[in-house]
Amino acid sequence: MDQEDEEVFEIVDFTSASEWEVFTSRMEEILFSWQLSLKDKEEETTVFLGLNGEWKSSSEDISFAGHPFILTHYWVEESAEKGKRHESVVEKKGCQVFESLMDKSHDFPFNKCHSLAKFYGLTDFVIMSPAGNEMLTSEDRINLLLSSVTIAVNNVQSRVPVFVQLHSKSQQLYQGTFESKNLRTDFQMVHLKRIPPTCKHLSGLIELFKEKIGNSSINPVECSVCLTYSLCDIRNAGWDNWPQQPPDFESKGGVVGNATLSQLGFGAIKDPIKEILVSAVWNNNLNEDVVVDSEVYTDLVPIEAPLWIVRLVLNDKVPSLLIKSLCSFLDLCGAKESTEQLLGKNYTVLQSPDSPEYERALGALTKERTGYGILSSKRLPFGSKKAQTGGPIPENMLVNLLNFLFPDAEGDLEIQTHPYPEEFQSDCSASLDIKWKESFSAFKTSPVDSLVWRLATTAVYTMTHLNGIEGVAHWWHEIVLELRYRWEHGYAIPGLKTGMPDLNYCRLYQKLQMLNCCIEHKKVSTSGPPVELADEDEFYDAEETLESIEETPPKERHSAWNQPQGRKERTKMKLLRSGETLYIPVTQALLPMTEDMIEEQSEMMEQLGDNAEGSELRARILSASLLSDMESFKAANPGAQIEDFVRWHSPRDWIEEEVVTSDGCKIEGRLSGRMQTPGNLWQEMWRTAKPVVAWRQKRLFDDTKEAEKILHTFSALRPAQIASLLLPTIIHASVNRLLEELPSTTQLPDAISNCQAAISKIVQIARHSPLELQQYEDLLPTLQTVEVHLSQFNALRRKMISYENWEGVDDFVTRLLIDNYVSLPGGSHTPAGIALLRALEGLNKKDDASTLPPPVKKEFVLRAMAHRPGNGSTSSCQKMFCSIDEDSIRLAGAWTQDILFY
């Protein structure tokens, strides 16, 4: 019994599905889920799509015997725009696969598509490939998978072919199958590193094609040919074909790079164009009866080809000058070293007024010179160690830098090398389109070609070409010395808008404007009191009688201790009490304030609190200018009342009304309600105000204090802090530089959209305080994309016009950059074709200049209708693709046979 029981348990159920059957069934389920089955469909509809649409894919995981595979469906969809360009999508009854195999418009697609689309012209197919890094190299495994695929395709009646990927993925080797009714197509491929002699020309390939088809009845073999030539050696004969013009070493003091003091560097460091491929194509009305291509003779002359296709191959990750400079400058913003650590104490003695060398330095500043500033002497100032041993920046280069920043030190405007513009009206270059000017108006940086703009460009130049961070520290130290000399001697700082600090610009620009205000205020205060109206300058209205004038002689109207002073301008108003003319007084100038000063004042006001005492103190602080105006008004108008002051200073608080009296109607005035309230600040300040002329009052604006505060702050800045102050302007200058390079005659969509995105981002981050470096670093990829695109345009355009310049060269270059290929119907007889033909002839290394160099690739497509396997079989399509490189050949065949009628 035990033996019988054991025998029963050893019985195997052969009716259960094997792994191979499960694998095949799973494949069928996936094909059904993708709606690739033609079961229960009366007839297949063929949709004629090009290969230039949008390629899409969908994948599913599948395994067999523990080995994972990926089943991927690829198909192309015609976009709406391309559908319009092709007028309409044509539909008809028939097999989609066979129509695609025979469609000549699918030969040699030059856009990015799957390799199977290039080999066979297919627009819809499925690929089974090993997952991960596994490869199918065993012949048994390959045959097993192909048998599964054949069964699945037959069972589901798939409308697309299914391929199996063989060997390594880089080889792009496939085998596949497809069935439609009584026809089956086998897709086979071979890749050889050694080219058989008979396969080097079209005649030998036609013989091979016919031999593969067999002895069956065959129509004439139709051919399509593509011969590709490479212009990778186009860089010859001088700098005209270089990616950018080489620098003038003499003018740059031996410094390498194309950046100038007024412009940031721009352009690719190496040629962004790897090669230009020119393909001569024959794909219409060409068969074995009308063309000969053998080892001894050929009809395939590229010059006579009806169609040329130009393709562009770009170098990846091309380094560019602008982004390289910006990256180094952003690194500078994160540096921790101080100027003293970088250059020594001799460069920081002016940071503290208590320094023993401070007095000696000021003494050196006050010495008589022929000019002014550091530029007035060939030797550096102060007799410091720096002047003896030299700093990081060579002396001649330092003079060039400071001459560029302060051109007025060279002399009159006529002899200045780099004068500032007379007016700063624009926030971008005048050559740019109006739409860009509107975008730049929101930038909180500085006007183009202002002092801060030049500081930004020279800072980048110094960081990139003049010893890095040490050079920046030396450069800034000399600038602070120049600013101090100008403050001490009353020379205005050039390159700035006049007037009060403009809060629409960056803080560094505001600080320099404030320093200019200090210099101007100092010049006014040291020049003595302003010229005021003398008694003899007074004049009277015509209606005043001579007697009324003689009644009060000018010298006797006021007492000796109450004579009017500080009169600036005579008005038509009269003082209410005395009836004398009301004069506008000379007042102290309005207090200039920068953005950070306003913030400090706001914080101080908040700290005073909300109680009555704090409110009163806050009002008195804010009314210091009002008290000064009251004292000046009393000095200019002895005997004036507060009503007189209000009529001049705040006319809206003086209310005039028409009053009816016994003598008739007359106009009477009174103070407004807020001026008459008890404890009104104006009333109290008027009672305490004394008649003091403006130049004898306590100064509202202490120019010395503010100037020294700014200069001390400047001298104490670390190089990283200087870089942070200039960074918004540098980014502004970078975008402006890119837009200057943007061709006005053509449209590069990517470059334009990226510039717009960068401008929008800069407008946001330039107003942030404190500065966030990460936001600026996030901008670099966008700016780099623009710079690379523009460099590609400039390099390609320079190459083309060096051989032939024609009217549409910019449009040709733009189309080539956007689409990566351009069709030239007419071939060498088009303007672009003429230029490319000359380039190809220039590469010919033979003595005969009329002969072109050998092609780097030959591609052939052979197709025919044939009865396979016998003459009684249905006529079916046969196709073979052949690609011949310099050292390899690829053959891809689609062989169709009748499986019902032999």
- Residue 33's SS3 state is helix
DSSP category for residue 170: G
Parallel/antiparallel/unpaired status of strands 875-884 and 889-898: antiparallel
E strand intervals along 143-270: 162-166, 173-180, 183-192, 222-230
Q: Note the pLDDT tens digit of each residue in 412-426.
A: 777 888 888 888 766
Instruction: Give the separation between CA 143 and CA 160, rounded to whole angstroms.
Output: 20
DSSP letter assigned to residue 678? T
Q: How far is CA 324 from CA 274, 318, 461, 463, in A?
A: 21, 11, 12, 11
The parts of the chain modelled with pLDDT lower than 70 are 1-17, 40-49, 78-93, 215-217, 233-259, 346-390, 425-435, 437, 527-562, 601, 605-622, 660-664, 745-746, 767-769, 844-850, 902
Tell me which H or E stretch contains 507. helix 507-526
Q: Would you list the DSSP string of 76-87?
A: EE--HHHHHHTS
Please give the structure tokens belonging to residue 376: 């007035």
The backbone torsions φ and ψ at residue 320, rounded to the nearest 5 degrees and listed phi first, read -130, 150
Q: From residue 790, give the alpha-carbon distance in Å to each of 130, 804, 806.
A: 42, 21, 20
Q: Residue 239's pLDDT is what? A: 41
Q: How many Å separate Cα 342 from the centre of its chain? A: 33
**Coil/strand/helix, residue 251:** coil
Task: Give the dihedral of Cα atoms 556, 561, 567, 571; nearest 10 deg.
Answer: -50
Closest Cα to residue 620, out of 99, 89, 802, 628? 628
Helix (H, G, I), strand (E, B) or coil at 231: coil
Q: What is the C-alpha to C-alpha distance for residues 642 and 649, in angstroms, rounded to an integer?
A: 10
Residue 823: count of CB within 10 angstroms of its CB? 14
* CA 492 to each of CA 498, 517, 518, 522: distance values in angstroms, whole numbers, following the listed order: 10, 9, 10, 11
Residue 384 confidence (pLDDT):
33
Global pTM?
A: 0.74
> In angstroms, rounded to a whole number, what is the distance separating the alpha carbons of residues 662 and 396?
88
The answer to whether the CB of 636 falls within 8 A of the CB of 568 is yes
Q: Alpha-carbon Rg of the chain, whole angstroms?
A: 43
Q: pLDDT, tens digit, for every residue of 2-51? A: 555 555 555 555 566 688 888 999 999 999 999 998 876 655 555 656 77
Which residues are within 8 A (CB) of 611 and not within 5 positions of it... i.e. 6 or more apart?
none
Cα–Cα distance measured from residue 184 to residue 189, given in angstroms and rounded to the nearest whole number: 17
| Pick from 802, 827, 800: nearest CA to 811 | 800
The tokens describing 723, both together, are 């870089």
- Please provide the DSSP assignment of 85-152 as one string: HTSS-EEEES-HHHHHHH-GGGSS--SS--HHHHHH--SEEEEEEESTT--B--HHHHHHHHHHHHHH
User: For position 559, what pLDDT does the model report?
Assistant: 59
Tokens 């403050």 belong to which residue?
Answer: 487
**Distance between CA 105 and CA 83 in Å, rounded?**
16
Enumerate the β-bridge partners of residue 73.
58, 126
Residue 444 phi/psi, 5-degree rounding, is -105, 70
Residue 156 DSSP label: H
Q: Residue 648: CA atoms inside 13 Å, Cβ hemisphere, count?
A: 26
- Tokens in use for 811? 């449009």
- Phi and psi angles of residue 362, each rounded to the nearest 5 degrees, phi first: -65, -35
**Among the listed residues 125, 308, 310, 302, the one whose alpha carbon sits nearest the alpha carbon of residue 892:** 125
How many helices and strands, by DSSP H and E, does the chain display? 29, 19
Where does 672-752 show beta strands of DSSP type E?
A: none
Residue that the structure tokens 């007016």 belong to: 423
What is the C-alpha separation between 307 and 284, in angstroms, rounded?
10
CA atoms of 120 and 187, how far apart (whole Å): 9
Residue 254 in contact with residue 863, Cβ under 8 Å?
Answer: no
3-state secondary structure (DSSP) of residue 328: helix
Contact present, 45 and 91 (Cβ < 8 Å): yes
In angstroms, rounded to a whole number, what is the distance separating the alpha carbons of residues 782 and 577? Answer: 72
One-letter amino acid for residue 195 of the chain: I
- Residue 478's contacts (CB-CB under 8 Å, 6 or more residues apart) are 374, 380, 398, 401, 402
Segments of 296-426 assigned E as strands: 307-314
Distance CA 862, CA 882 (A): 8
